[in-house]
């Protein structure tokens, strides 16, 4: 085994899957199981199910499934050993030294990158406090009016105007060029082949994850030169779309609500003013992963984006993203300033607190935006406003919410609620038809152009794969079927399989059954990707939904597989037979001609 079985069993026994997944996904009881909106694809109706009895999950919409370890691998973008370590820390299991996969030892470890980033953060902060960093300190404390205490609290730093300052310091600390490249702290010179500092002559904002690890950096110029911001690219320890600036601080202060802004300085200014529940999305392009991450800490978001056109577009887009994960959304629009930082410097914390009390719901913001675009005194413009507003209401899933919004829109437009409701219903029916047609087209496109991403061989062996998956589903689900194969009661071997993926699953399963203390679905994650684990879970779910799963069904599936394989082998042999016949014919002809 790659990881000690007892360690994994202990972790899974303590890491209740409902509790773990429930910290990421809002779950509701559905009989003996729990359901919610799938975190791995966008959906309006819940198709994601957690099965407490088997300690597994499965999405009937996107066919993703697995156990608690597989879920963490997907959600946190971790390898199997990393996911095991993540859960071990969460449930209080100590992993003995030396336990783990060889994959942990290959390349540069996450631990090493965390240490490198922390060392780089200390270097940048020390540079800020040195005479060399005076320009950066002046910018932060004079131009931006930050206190030294705030500078220290966020670990702000300065990158000197040098190509080799950071790299030389990290080399002296024992870090290699390759580690600097992987951490995206340095680039590689095309002329010399040597590293050069990525961040130069910028104030530095360390990005820290919720576990307290420095994972990335943002660098800002101190004048109007471009680009204004320079950010770490994705690395093994940092995914821009999975992190938020200052969440490591805000998570302890956001039970009631959380403020999300555009930039580092807005967040820092808010924290300095006492509003410690503020974060930034590392750019206005909020991702689904970031939205789901925030649901772990609060259920209400106050969106505070810049008042410019880009900020308003981001507001409109991100409202939908937050709504999709069940978050209550309010919008704060500051008057007399372009952003939170400027507002606080001009008017102070008390004025901001009063402004917070005037935030509006997402729908009110939309209604104000739409009606503000049109001259409501003109009939044709009023009609256009009504059409646009009814279109927005039609996208709301909750019937109760739609009814409330219908009444509000009718009052704002000066129309009857019945008239607005009829238009909303008409638009909803049209959208349903269009959505079904779109899904059908997309499914056909995927099938035609991409086939089976998990098992690419399947497209050429449809009937054989159906038999293979039935066999594997039965073997994974029923120990007596595995024993029947192991003893030879049901003759089946790896060579009977047509596709490489299913053959590998079979081999690994039976090897585990024979040598590793018996088959365990969860432990298969050490050998296969989360996508493959999802496919295996799909195979099991199909069998559980069928009443006939006896030994006769297994024998029948094996017979079908062998028949399909024989037919496939014959089809492959036919061209070779034809070639042999042609060569024999030519040879006989040549012999005949020579004897004449």
Q: What percent of the chain has pLDDT over 90?
A: 49
Which has more pLDDT, 580 or 407? 407
Q: Give this prediction's pTM.
A: 0.63
Mean pLDDT over all residues of the chain?
87
DSSP SS3 for 29: strand
CA distance 350 to 578: 89
DSSP SS3 for 573: helix
Q: State residue 283's pLDDT score.
A: 63
Q: State residue 123's pLDDT score.
A: 98
CB 263 within 8 A of CB 339: yes
Sign of CA dihedral 364, 369, 370, 372: positive
- Highest mean predicted confidence (pLDDT) among 128-142, 435-449, 570-584: 128-142
Q: Which helix (H) or strand (E) holds 159?
A: strand 157-159
Q: State residue 99's pLDDT score.
A: 47
Assess whether pLDDT exceeds 50 at residue 498.
yes
- Highest mean predicted confidence (pLDDT) among 196-200, 325-329, 566-570, 580-584: 196-200
CA distance 54 to 62: 20
Structural domains in the chain?
5-105 (3.90.580.10), 110-238 (3.90.980.10), 247-358 (3.40.1360.10), 379-448 (no CATH), 456-569 (1.10.860)
CA distance 482 to 472: 10
Instruction: Compute the chain's Rg from CA coordinates.
Output: 30
CB 294 within 8 A of CB 324: no
């Amino acid at each position: 085994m790659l990881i000690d079985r007892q360690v994994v069993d202990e972790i899974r026994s303590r890491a209740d899957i409902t509790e773990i997944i429930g910290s990421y996904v809002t779950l509701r009881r559905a009989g003996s199981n729990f359901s919610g909106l799938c975190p791995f694809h966008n959906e309006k109706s819940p198709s994601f199910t957690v099965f407490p009895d088997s300690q597994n999950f499965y999405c009937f919409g996107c066919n993703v499934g697995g156990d608690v370890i597989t879920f963490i691998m997907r959600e946190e973008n971790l390898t199997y050993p990393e996911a095991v370590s993540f859960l071990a820390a969460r449930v209080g299991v100590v992993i003995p030294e030396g336990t783990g996969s060889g994959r942990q030892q290959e390349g540069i470890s996450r631990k090493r990158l965390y240490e490198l980033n922390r060392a780089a953060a200390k270097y940048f902060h020390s540079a800020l406090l040195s005479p060399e960093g005076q320009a950066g300190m002046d910018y932060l404390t004079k131009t931006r009016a930050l206190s030294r205490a705030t500078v220290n609290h966020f670990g702000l730093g300065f990158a000197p105007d040098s190509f080799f300052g950071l790299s030389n310091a990290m080399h002296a600390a024992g870090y290699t060029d390759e580690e600097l490249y992987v951490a995206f702290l340095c680039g590689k010179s095309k002329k010399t082949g040597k590293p050069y500092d990525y961040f130069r002559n910028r104030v530095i904002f360390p990005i820290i994850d919720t576990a307290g690890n420095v994972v990335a950096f943002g660098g800002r110029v101190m004048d109007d030169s471009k680009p204004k911001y320079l950010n770490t690219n994705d690395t093994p320890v940092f995914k821009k779309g999975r992190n938020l600036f200052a969440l490591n601080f805000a998570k302890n202060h956001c039970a009631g609500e959380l403020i999300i802004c555009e930039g580092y300085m807005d967040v820092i200014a808010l924290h300095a003013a006492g509003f410690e529940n503020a974060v930034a999305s590392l750019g206005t392009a909020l991702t689904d992963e970031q939205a789901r991450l925030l649901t772990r800490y609060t259920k209400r978001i106050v969106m505070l984006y810049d008042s410019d056109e880009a900020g308003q577009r981001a507001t409109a887009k991100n409202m939908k993203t937050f709504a999709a994960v069940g978050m209550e959304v309010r919008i704060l629009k500051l008057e007399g300033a372009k952003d939170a930082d400027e507002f606080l410097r001009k008017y102070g914390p008390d004025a901001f607190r009063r402004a917070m009390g005037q935030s509006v719901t997402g729908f009110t913001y939309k209604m104000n935006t739409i009606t503000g675009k049109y001259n409501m005194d003109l009939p044709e413009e009023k009609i256009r406003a009504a059409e646009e507003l009814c279109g927005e209401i039609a996208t709301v899933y909750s019937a109760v919410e739609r009814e409330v919004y219908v009444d509000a829109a009718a009052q704002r437009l000066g129309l009857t609620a019945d008239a607005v409701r009829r238009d909303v219903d008409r638009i909803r029916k049209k959208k349903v038809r269009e959505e079904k047609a779109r899904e059908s087209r997309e499914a056909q496109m995927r099938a035609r152009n991409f086939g089976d991403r998990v098992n690419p061989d399947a497209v050429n062996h449809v009937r054989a794969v159906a038999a293979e998956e039935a066999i594997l589903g039965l073997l994974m689900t029923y120990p007596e079927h595995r024993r029947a194969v192991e003893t030879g009661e049901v003759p089946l071997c790896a060579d009977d399989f047509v596709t490489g993926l299913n053959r590998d699953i079979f081999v690994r399963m039976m090897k585990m059954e024979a040598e590793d203390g018996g088959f365990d679905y969860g432990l298969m994650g050490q050998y296969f990707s989360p996508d493959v684990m999802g496919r295996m879970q799909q195979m099991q779910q199909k069998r559980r939904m069928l009443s006939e799963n006896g030994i006769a069904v297994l024998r029948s599936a094996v017979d079908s597989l062998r028949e399909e394989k024989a037919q496939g082998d014959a089809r492959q042999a036919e061209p070779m037979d034809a070639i042999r016949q042609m060569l024999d014919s030519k040879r006989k002809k040549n012999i005949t001609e020579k004897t004449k």
